[in-house]
Amino acid sequence: MTPGESLDRIGTELNGLSIDYRRLNWAKYTTGMDFGVNEAYGRILSFLENKETWDKLMEAGNSRLDPVDARKAEILTRSFRPFHLSPEMNELAVRIQRLTSALSGVLNTHRCSVGGRERNATEIEKLLSSEPDRALRKEAFLSRVQVSDALAEAGFLDLLELRREYAKGMGERDFVAYSLKEQELEPDMFSAWPEALGEILPRMERTRANLAEGCAGISDIMPWDESFIASSLAPELDSHVDMTDFLSPIAELFAGFGFDVPAMNITYDIFPRRNKSEWGYNFPIQTGTDSRILANVRNRYSDFRVLLHETGHGVHSFTSDPGQAVLNMGISGIVSEGIANLFGSFFTRRAFYSNFFTGNEAEGHFSNLSKWKRATQLTALGRILFDGSLYTSSPGSLQEIERLRWQTDADLFNREPYSNRPVWANTIHHTTHPIYLHNYLLGDLTCDMLETVFLKREGVGDITEKPEAFGEFLREEVVAPSGMYPFPELFRRISGEDLSLSFLVRRIREELEG
Ligand SMILES: [Zn+2]
């Protein structure tokens, strides 16, 4: 066996075990039933811990390799190495995974109570977007605090401690640096972000205030006003659509770019039910073979935002090469979120909304909505940097976590606490995907970068003027090489620029001032 074949064989086996694990997770998230998630994870761990496989990997990695095989060796080594440091680290990894899984169960099955009545997340979202009574919206928003106690009781603080310990064991400064390095990003990436935000913050706040005042008469925007303002700017968001045929408009949009969605094996589970996770996900079960979407629609136009985004993930899977098991493991989450966000953004673009709304009125509404979203985009930094502070500080109690949350808002946005307790625990990423939230923002940034590069090269004003060429550009220049390079390098290859938040700040400024 050549070293390259040896690498492929290890990758294929690891991929097979991951596929089983993802299938079981899908069952757990869609039904609340656990058919052996921990056992499947255990099988992945035993494979990663296997000394013989590790030796084979090292042997192959130390051979003379072409650039593709060298990249494969690098990707696989990153997965295996943590399990060949010490038995203590292996045990720590298992404890982290078990606790994460238990806590995700708490979050997925928890229901908040508003006015003494149990409400699921989609009902709360509906209240927040359409309830004109501000006091009721406030109550609905703050009901999300309820899950904080349940999460803390189930061991969230222990989870943080275990992760901090793990990063130390890996020889890293802290869990943030460890995670960013694992994602092939600069360990200090976040440190320049507050300053970049500071440059544009006054402009953002002015735009937000003008739009909120104009459409909803709100002069002091509170968290429970955010989605109400969005749906006041574009009442279309809340209008009823029949979701029984949700796939046709989606398929038509993607077909324009040369992607045949109905021909792809994408499963949609989109209606809410008891014990089903309340959010929206794509489960990338097996690249190019099996992709599944979990969502919770309530027959509103705004549901398409999630469906388009998650379908974007599915299409990404089916444009990747299923034969490249190892390289596919090297695809950055930012590329995935960038492509998904790009298609998600069609939700406010005429090419998609014209299926449901026509006329100048809708155009004006969606244009204001886009402006609002631009002016609001960087508020994501609050969650991203708070998530990091959970590891760079060492909160020892729920109260200290809550203080950190307020502190982040004060430092970044100069905002005062909006209540006696902040809402944070309902963001499942803090529990299941730590140091991941930046992928969405960098995904937005990537999405802007891809459009900018394409428009300039083709000399057009909108990607919908050359949709097939744009689809081709995504396939050939983004998806195809995406497993081969660490994200910052891929970004540089496509755009000719270094990855930094300034790309996004520039776009926001252009759009808010233009
Ligand atoms: Zn996504």
Query: Quick one: which H or E segment has residue 290?
Result: strand 290-294
Domain with 42, as residue range(s), is 3-184
Q: 309 CA to middle of ligand 1, Å?
A: 6
pLDDT per residue of the chain (514 residues) written in tens, 0 to 9: 899 999 999 999 999 999 999 999 999 999 989 999 989 999 999 999 999 999 999 999 999 999 999 999 999 999 999 899 998 998 998 899 999 999 999 998 888 888 889 888 878 988 998 999 999 999 999 999 999 999 999 999 999 999 999 999 999 999 999 999 999 999 999 999 999 999 999 999 999 999 999 999 998 999 999 999 999 999 999 899 999 999 999 999 999 999 999 999 999 999 988 888 878 889 999 999 999 999 999 899 999 999 999 999 999 999 999 999 999 999 998 999 899 999 999 999 999 999 999 888 999 999 999 999 999 999 999 999 999 999 999 999 999 999 999 999 999 999 999 999 999 999 999 999 999 999 999 999 999 999 999 999 999 999 999 999 999 999 999 999 999 999 999 999 999 999 989 889 999 999 998 7
**Would you call 150 exposed, middle or buried from its count of C-beta atoms within 10 A (0-12, 13-18, 19+)?**
middle
| 191 found inside a domain | no
| 40 found inside a domain | yes
| 56 found inside a domain | yes
Q: What is the 3-state secondary structure (H, E, C) of 341-361?
A: HHHHHHHHCHHHHCCCCCCHH
How many angstroms separate the CA atoms of 330 and 317, rounded? 13
Q: 336 CA to middle of ligand 1, Å?
A: 7
pTM to 2 decimal places: 0.87
Number of domains in the chain: 1
Q: 156 CA to middle of ligand 1, Å?
A: 24
Which residues are bridge partners to 477 per DSSP?
none
Answer yes or no: are the C-beta atoms of 137 and 127 closer than 8 Å: yes
Closest to 319 (Cα-Cα) out of 342, 287, 343 = 287
Q: Could you give the 3-state DSSP secondary structure of residue 418?
A: coil
Which residues are bridge partners to 282 per DSSP?
293
| 131 found inside a domain | yes
How many angstroms separate the CA atoms of 500 and 189, rounded? 8
The number of residues making up the chain comes to 514
How many angstroms separate the CA atoms of 31 and 99, rounded? 20
Q: 293 CA to middle of ligand 1, Å?
A: 11
| 318 found inside a domain | no
| 58 found inside a domain | yes
How many angstroms separate the CA atoms of 174 and 184, rounded? 16
Q: 66 CA to middle of ligand 1, Å?
A: 33
Answer yes or no: are the C-beta atoms of 177 and 167 closer than 8 Å: yes
* Tokens found for residue 190: 């976040």
| 336 found inside a domain | no
| 293 found inside a domain | no
How many angstroms separate the CA atoms of 144 and 107, rounded? 11
